[in-house]
A and B are shown apart, each in its own frame.
Chain A
Amino acid sequence: MKIKIKILFLFLFCTMLLILAACSDSDDKEKGNSNDESSKKEGDDEQVTLRMTWWGSQSRHDQTQEIIDLFEEENPDIKIDSEFTGWDGYFEKMAASAAGNNLPDIMQQNFGEYLNQYADKELLADLTPFIEDGLINLDGVSDTVIDSGIQEGKVLGIPTGTNALTVIYNKTLLDEAGVEVPDEDWTWDEHNQIANDVHNATGEYGTRHFDVDLVFEYYLREKGFKLFNEDGTDLGYEDDQLLTDYFTMVKKLIDEDISPGPDVIQQIQGIEDELVVHGKSPFDFRWSNQLGALAGAAEGQKLGMTMLPGEDITKGMYLKPAMLWSISENSEYKEEAARFIDFFLSTTKVYEIGGADRGVPIKQEIRDELSPSLNEVDQQVYDYIDLVTENSSPIDSNFPPESSEILSKLEEIDELVMYGEISPEEGAIQFREEAVSILGR
């Protein structure tokens, strides 16, 4: 008995020790950091520490850290503490920081519902004064690009780079099926035909199930409609037949086994696992900056990119800021933060390190400077953005703050339809009901 109790005590003691050790370790780190800062502050009164956050993949974390090191080297009076996560959880974390009035000085912001929401709550600083006095130099940036960061007359974010929707195709698989690579001007019927041919010839899927939140908006634009009306109080289209047609088309592809259903898509774990990477589908609809990640994972498969299919592609296609740099309203060092943003936009080296991961540079001079040294994949993305620039219409920025909920409703209904729980007609009607009820709250 006694021995047992002794052993128990010993065990508990060790556990406690471990826990304490684990706790104190992190304490030490924090202390170490703050010591670092204070000692630097003592040595150099000017030094300012900025907090900066972004979301992304591991490669983006590494690249961004490299960019920060470069910036700190050139600007010894500024130190940047970085915090980064994946996309999942990023805005949850930011929301908690905002609630505590503790947003980072520099924050990677997303175009659309998030920017609108932050604008609505007045959490972001107006960058106009910094642009006017030249601290952020926007020479050679097209107005449409700058406009995408403007809300209610204030410049709340500067795009890190440009993005566009694209169809990434697997040339190896298309060749194997003996099908021609589609040109930039193709219709949905042609897409479905090619998908059918590839499926029949190779037994692989003919296309990938579309992410409805991306593709349906394009589908509406291409037919001359918008997802939301001008002031973001209602859906931007009257006729439910549009969504019915879209659902019917996609459902048919799944029913004929040309496209995988949502149960297959759900199993895909990360971008390296995508069907197009492994030659299991010739097409994949997504954002252009992701070609690099896909091509990096695709061994022995040649990938290319083309525009989305449709009747009026120019009307449908648009350029989107890949993401934006914003400065929070509660930041004490807005000027220093602005200097970092300017550094990011105007330094060729930044894009040499980062490639097209945060989109194609918004400044013409940097694009020109980089183009001779680009690798094949980045060159493809640059060319593609040039192509879209000439064949596109402005992006719709009238997304209401509730749109993230509405879009996830759309995904939910898409699943219901694809699983055959409800018909395309019912799905279209249900989406309108749900959207109106969310907007009317």
Chain B
Amino acid sequence: MILVNQDLFLPNFREVKVLSHKNTQETIDLKIVKKKGIKREGYQNKTGYMFISPFLIGLLGLTLFPILYSLYLSFTDFDLLGKADWIGLDNYVRMFTTDETFKKSLNVTLFYAGIAVPLRLIFALAVALALNKVVEMVGLYRTLLYLPSIVGGSIAVSIMWKQLFGNDGAVNAILESIGLTTYSWLGDPGLAIWTLIVLYGWQFGSSMLIFLAGLRNIPQTYYEASSVDGAGPIKQFFIITIPLLTPVILFNTIMQVIQGFMAFTPSFIITEGGPINSTLLYVLYMYRRAFEYFDMGYASAMAWFMLVIIAAFTALIFKSSSHWVHYESDD
């Protein structure tokens, strides 16, 4: 059973080799075509471009153009209703010198991502480890545990969270019934951000699936060999599981860091950035500047600064990866 699943998840190495062999043959075929005539190749390219044109048009028109346009807007005072006048670096200067709310939102976001991302990764790994041991009905458990992530980013879960942690919500009702003190989870500036962090941690599904695939890919023989040498489960975890899982951990970390910085829905729906801006995530503040104060130029500048931050973090993680990520050698 487990073997079959492994096949489903990742093709084993021999298959990959066969595939690459096929590829080289295709390139050979192409070379022959090239010799026969350039016209035909041009025609083939055209057909190819036509086939991917829906994607290309989408990419250029709906993604690339708006991205570049927002870069232009970040140097203007565009307010949605009027014309965009070039104001140079004013937006960026204002961001770093006078805007206290900007600094606050940046701090909140760093704190949020700094805690919520590791929390989610640890949670995801723990559940994946547990699932890896389950033999029966893996599919069912996997689906059930993945569900929160599918509905996770949505408005519905955020509204549910708001109800759960409200002053008269289920969490307080449970606390009260077992004789503990209740808290104003969303009304206390010190606590509100934690309810959002817990929500982020709870939506561990996609990371968990990837961890699970990674775990399945670790050859059972390593564990057998180490247990012959007398290694217990904990030791095995640290000398086999973790090192062999590091490429997957790297991937998950980067994806989650990006997601963590871009979180918006929870603070928009659950707390509206409050109380006293203690949950004002960066993207929420950006949204407010853009659509509540019609400060589109400034919001564009914020978006580009966000890009720089995420790029910097990603680069840092990549740079550090040579020290802690182990790749199995090909042969």
Chains A and B are bound partners: yes
Q: Are A121 and B291 in contact (CB under 8 A)?
A: no
CB pair A92–B184 under 8 Å, yes or no, is no
- Chain B 152-184 per-residue mask, 1 if CB under 8 angstroms from chain A, else 0: 000000000000001110000000000000001
With A267-B166, A404-B293: A415-B274 Cβ-Cβ less than 8 Å: yes
In chain A, positions 273-296 with a C-beta closer than 8 Å to chain B are none
Q: Is A416 an interface residue (CB 8 A)?
A: yes
Contact B167 A267, beta carbon cutoff 8 Å: yes
Contact A98 B80 (CB under 8 A): yes
- Alpha-carbon separation in the docked complex, A4 to B1 (Å): 13
List residues 393-414 of chain A with CB under 8 A from any CB of chain B: 402, 404-405, 408, 412
- Identify the stretch in B185-193, B197-205, B214-222, B305-313 within 8 Å (CB) of chain A at 4 or more residues: B185-193
Task: Decide: B186 and A267 in contact? CB cutoff 8 A.
Answer: yes
Given A415-B274, A421-B276, answer yes or no on A263-B293 (Cβ-Cβ < 8 Å): no
B328 CB within 8 Å of chain A: no
**B81 at the A interface (CB under 8 A):** yes
Tell me how far the C-beta of B291 lies from the nearest C-beta in chain A, rounded to whole angstroms. Answer: 4
Partner of A4, one of B8, B80, B188, B276: B8
Complexed CA–CA distance, A230 and B189 (Å): 38
Among residues of B, the one whose C-beta sits closest to the C-beta of A99 is B80
Does A123 have its Cβ within 8 Å of any Cβ on chain B?
Answer: yes
For the complex, give the distance between the alpha carbons of A58 and B269 in Å.
20
- List A114-136 residues whose CB lies under 8 Å from chain B: 117-118, 121, 123
Kindly list chain B residues whose C-beta atoms are within 8 Å of the C-beta of A421: 189, 276
Shortest C-beta distance, A408 to chain B (Å), equals 7
Q: In the complex, A266→B275 CA distance in Å?
A: 8
Find out whether the CB atom of A117 lies under 8 angstroms from the CB atom of B293: no
A419 in contact with B8 given A95-B291, A267-B166 (CB within 8 Å): no
Chain A: CB-nearest residue to B293: A405
Answer yes or no: B82 CB below 8 A from chain A CBs. yes
Decide if A264 is an interface residue (CB 8 Å cutoff): yes
B80 A95 Cβ-Cβ under 8 A: yes
A287 to chain B, nearest CB (A): 21
Q: Mark B258-294, 1 if CB is under 8 A from A, else 0.
A: 0000000000000110111100000000000001111
Interface residue from B187, B291, B292 paired with A262 (Cβ < 8 Å): B187
Interface residue? A1 (CB, 8 A): yes
* CB contact under 8 A between A92 and B166, given known A419-B275, A419-B276: no
Contacts of A261 in B (CB 8 A): 187
Whether A121 contacts B274 in the complex (CB less than 8 A), given A92-B291, A266-B186, A419-B189, comes out as no
Query: Looking across the interface, which residue of chain B has its beta carbon closest to that of A430?
Result: B100
> Can you name the residue of chain A whose Cβ is closest to the Cβ of B169?
A267
Q: Within 8 Å CB of B294, what residues of A? A: 95, 117
> Which residues of chain A have C-beta atoms less than 8 A from B25's C-beta?
none
With the chains together, A86 CA to B272 CA distance in Å? Answer: 16
Interface of B is mostly: loop
Distance of A419 Cα from B8 Cα, bound (Å):
56
A83 vs B86: C-alpha distance when bound (angstroms): 35
Q: How far is the CA of A80 from the CA of B282 in the complex (A)?
A: 40
Q: State whether the Cβ of B27 lies closer than 8 Å to any Cβ in chain A.
A: no
Complex CA gap A1/B294 in Å reads 55
A121 touches B82 (CB 8 A): yes
Residue contact A412 to B277, C-beta cutoff 8 Å:
yes
Report the bound CA distance from A266 to B274 in whole Å.
9
Question: Is B41 located at the chain interface by the 8 A CB criterion?
Answer: no
Other-chain contact of A264, B187, B271, B292, B293 (Cβ < 8 Å): B187
Q: Does A271 contact B (CB under 8 A)?
A: no
Q: Is A263 within 8 A of B184, CB to CB? A: yes
A402 to B277, CA, bound (A): 20
Q: Are B80 and A96 in contact (CB under 8 A)?
A: yes
Partner of A437, one of B4, B98, B187: B98
Q: How far is the CA of A441 from the CA of B294 in the complex (A)?
A: 14
Q: How large is the interface on B (under 10, 10 to 19, 20 to 34, 35 or more residues)?
A: 20 to 34
> 8 Å CB contacts to B: which residues of A211-242?
none
CB-CB nearest in chain A for B271: A266
B85 at the interface (CB under 8 A from A): no
Q: Contact check: which of A117, A262, A404 meets B81 at CB < 8 Å?
A: A117
Interface flags for A338-349 (1: CB within 8 Å of B; 0: not) read 000000000000
How long is the Cα–Cα vector from A264 to B142 in the complex, in angstroms? 39
B153 to chain A, nearest CB (A): 18
For the complex, what is the distance from the CA of A216 to the CA of B271, rounded to whole Å? 24
Evaluate contact between B4 and A1: CB separation under 8 angstroms: yes
| Bound form: Cα–Cα A412–B8 in Å | 54
CB-CB under 8 A from A264, the residues of chain B are: 167, 187
Say if the beta carbon of B26 comes within 8 Å of chain A.
no
Contact B275 A415 (CB under 8 A): yes
Inter-subunit contact A263/B188 (CB<8 Å): yes
Asked if B7 is an interface residue, CB under 8 A from chain A, the answer is yes
Report chain B residues within 8 Å CB of A92: 291-292
Chain A residue, CB-CB nearest to B294:
A95
How far is the CB of A120 from the nearest CB of chain B, in Å?
Answer: 8
> If A95-B291, A98-B80 touch, does A263 touch B8 (CB 8 Å cutoff)?
no
B81 engages A99 (CB within 8 Å): yes
Assembly CA distance A267 to B184 (angstroms): 10
Among A99, A404, A416, A441, point to the contact of B276 (Cβ < 8 A): A416
Question: For window 362-415 of chain A, which residues contact chain B by CB distance below 8 Å?
Answer: 402, 404-405, 408, 412, 415
Among B168, B184, B275, the most chain A Cβ lie within 10 Å of the Cβ of B275
A263 CA to B98 CA in the complex, in Å? Answer: 29
A430 CB, min distance to chain B CBs, angstroms? 10
B-side contacts of A1, CB under 8 Å: 4, 7-8
Which of these, B8, B81, B98, B166, contacts A95 with CB under 8 Å? B81
Given contacts A264-B167, A264-B187, contact A123 B81 (CB under 8 A): yes
* Alpha-carbon distance between A402 and B289 when the two chains are bound, in angstroms: 12
Interface centre among A1, A263, A402, A416 (most CB of B within 10 A): A263
Q: Is the CB of A263 within 8 A of B187?
A: yes
Q: Report the bound CA distance from A412 to B292 in whole Å.
A: 15
Q: Is the CB of A408 within 8 A of B81?
A: no
A95 → B minimal CB distance (Å): 4
Cα A90 to Cα B108 in complex, Å, equals 28
**Footprint of B on A, CB under 8 Å?**
1, 4, 92, 95-96, 98-99, 117-118, 121, 123, 261-264, 266-267, 402, 404-405, 408, 412, 415-416, 419, 421, 437, 441
Q: A123-B81, A405-B292 are in contact. List 7 more A-B contacts (CB 8 A).
A: A99-B81, A121-B81, A263-B187, A263-B275, A266-B187, A266-B272, A267-B187
Q: Which 8 A-B pairs have the closest CB atoms?
A: A263-B187, A92-B291, A121-B81, A95-B80, A405-B293, A415-B276, A263-B184, A99-B80
Q: List 5 A-B contacts (CB under 8 A).
A: A1-B7, A4-B8, A92-B291, A95-B81, A412-B277
